[in-house]
Each structure stands twice: as structure tokens, then as C-alpha cells.
């Protein structure tokens, strides 16, 4: 590895590293394996929970800490070892639940090991979430207020695309700097502790490894990647990313269907295509 090359690479999953069907490709396995063989630290930076990210980390041969739950959790999803969990104050979660009730939204509280909800409304059941990997650890409880003080990392508020922009704006006005607000699509928003983002988690992890942000590269495609792309020394956004996300990145690459993430990696590591082909 050349001294001027990134020493830590953070990769979003859905819409970035995975193919359009959400699968790990042979090229991804070979490419990340070649990076790691040269001493580059590779981490996932995803909104997924530990149990949803674990199979992907295993397929990619990644061990150690990954950035999960939009940066609210830094943990090894395979072993369950938690390095950093940014939980929210009880009062803040209670206020988020009240916000949801006022707008007839379905809230789901995300913990390091489980999701909890009182019900799954039609707007959730119409999606694939309940049967998707994220819904694998879900408990239906009598009262979310009763568990709101027990280590909540994030609150999902499901919306329709038609209401998404209005709900996001209302949440920003209501919570200001007391909560971090993000989303991966137009079907909901997520609320986390103040200043918690993939970017802040990446900065923390780089510091734990003795690295500066000039040593870090990142690739992503969504609003939830904006801070990560803005803070990394080198960054790439998929061409499908929102305009603000593309503007925050150092380069724009083709979409996941065209394996654009590998174009970014090959720019930063010119030796990588040959090494990945040899490793395949």
C-alpha cells in the first residue's frame, strides 16, 4: 500500500456495495479481500442492524467493528461485541413517541439487539420490512413508553413518500439539535442522539485506529451517507444519490448496477483491479 493511499475504507451497503438485489457479489468479495491483504482496513457503514449486517460481513470476510444503525452503533455484528452505543435520553424518546402519535405514524424503537413496536401499521406491512432482515428481531410490546428508557439507539417513524418531506421538516423544527435526523429512502425518517451520524462514527473509529480523516475514504448513495462523505478525506457518491449527497462527495461514480463503487476504489488504489482479479 502506498503511503498516500487511504488506510481505512468505509462502504455503504444498499445501493452502493451490494448489487441491486441486495446481494454480495464475487467481485465484492475479491476486491475487499485484496484490500485487506494489503493492510487496508475495510468497514461497513450502514443503516442496517447487527443481525441484518452479520451475514453480509461474513460473506465479505470482514471481522471486527462495523458502523451500524446509521452510526448509532459501532460493533462486531458477528460476535456481538459492542465498542460504542449512542443511546438516547429517556425524555427525548418519549417526545419522539409523542411526535409520532400526533401524526398517526408507526414508531419502532431500535435497540442494539432488538426492535420493539406496539403495532405494525398498514404503511409498514405494505413494505418488505417485516420479512426483510431488519424485521427478524422484532418484539410487539404493550407499551413503547415502558421501554423508552432502556437503551434506545434510534426511532423509526414510517411515512409515505407523499408525507416524507413534510414529516422530516416538522421533525427538524421540533427537535432541532437535540436529535440527529436522517433517512435512507422516502418511506420514513430515523431519529438518533444529537450529532450521531455515519460521519461522526467514522471519525470516532478512525481515531481509535490512530488515523486522521485524510487517511479515510468512503462511498455511499443516500442522505444517511452525506456526513460520512463530507468528512472523509476521499469520497465517492453513486450517481443515483440525491444532489446534496453528490455535492458532498469528492467524485460521482456509476450506480450499483454498474458496480460504481469499484470505480472509486480503483481510482484510490490503482493496483486493485489486478490484485482483485488474481484473488478471484
Reported as a single tens digit per residue, the pLDDT across 59-114 is 999 999 999 999 999 999 999 999 999 999 999 999 999 999 999 998 999 999 99
**Whether the model pTM is above 0.75:** yes
Reported as a single tens digit per residue, the pLDDT across 150-167 is 899 999 998 889 999 999
Confidence of residue 138 (pLDDT cuts 50, 70, 90): confident
Reported as a single tens digit per residue, the pLDDT across 219-272 is 999 999 999 999 999 999 999 999 999 999 999 999 999 999 999 999 999 999
**Euclidean distance between CA atoms 82 and 57, whole angstroms:** 15
> What structural domains does the chain harbor?
8-85+197-279 (3.40.50.1000), 90-193 (3.30.1240.10)
What was the pLDDT predicted at 120?
A: 75
Reported as a single tens digit per residue, the pLDDT across 11-37 is 999 999 999 989 999 999 999 999 999
Amino acid at each position: 500500500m502506498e503511503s498516500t493511499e487511504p488506510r481505512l475504507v468505509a462502504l455503504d451497503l444498499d445501493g452502493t456495495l451490494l448489487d441491486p438485489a441486495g446481494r454480495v457479489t464475487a467481485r465484492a468479495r475479491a476486491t475487499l479481500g485484496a484490500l485487506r491483504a494489503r493492510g487496508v482496513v475495510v468497514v461497513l457503514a450502514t443503516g442496517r442492524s447487527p443481525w441484518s449486517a452479520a451475514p453480509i460481513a461474513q460473506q465479505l470476510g470482514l471481522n471486527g467493528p462495523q458502523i451500524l444503525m446509521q452510526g448509532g452503533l459501532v460493533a462486531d455484528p458477528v460476535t456481538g461485541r459492542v465498542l460504542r452505543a449512542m443511546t438516547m435520553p429517556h425524555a427525548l424518546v418519549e417526545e419522539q413517541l409523542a411526535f409520532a402519535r400526533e401524526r398517526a405514524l408507526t414508531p419502532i424503537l431500535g435497540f442494539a439487539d432488538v426492535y420493539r413496536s406496539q403495532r405494525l401499521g398498514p404503511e409498514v406491512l405494505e413494505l418488505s420490512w417485516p420479512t426483510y432482515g431488519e424485521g427478524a428481531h422484532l418484539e410487539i410490546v404493550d407499551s413503547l413508553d415502558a421501554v423508552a428508557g432502556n437503551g434506545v439507539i434510534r426511532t423509526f417513524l414510517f411515512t409515505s413518500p407523499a408525507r416524507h418531506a413534510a414529516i422530516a421538516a416538522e421533525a427538524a423544527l421540533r427537535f432541532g439539535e437535540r436529535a440527529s435526523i436522517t433517512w435512507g429512502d422516502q418511506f420514513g425518517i430515523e431519529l438518533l442522539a444529537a450529532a450521531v451520524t455515519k460521519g461522526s462514527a467514522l471519525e470516532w473509529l478512525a481515531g481509535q485506529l490512530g488515523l486522521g480523516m485524510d487517511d479515510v475514504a468512503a462511498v455511499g448513495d443516500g442522505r444517511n451517507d452525506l456526513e460520512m462523505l463530507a468528512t472523509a478525506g476521499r469520497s465517492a457518491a453513486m450517481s443515483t444519490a440525491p444532489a446534496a449527497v453528490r455535492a458532498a462527495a469528492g467524485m460521482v461514480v456509476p450506480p450499483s448496477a454498474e458496480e460504481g463503487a469499484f470505480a472509486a476504489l480503483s481510482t484510490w488504489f490503482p493496483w486493485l483491479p489486478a490484485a482483485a482479479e488474481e484473488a478471484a
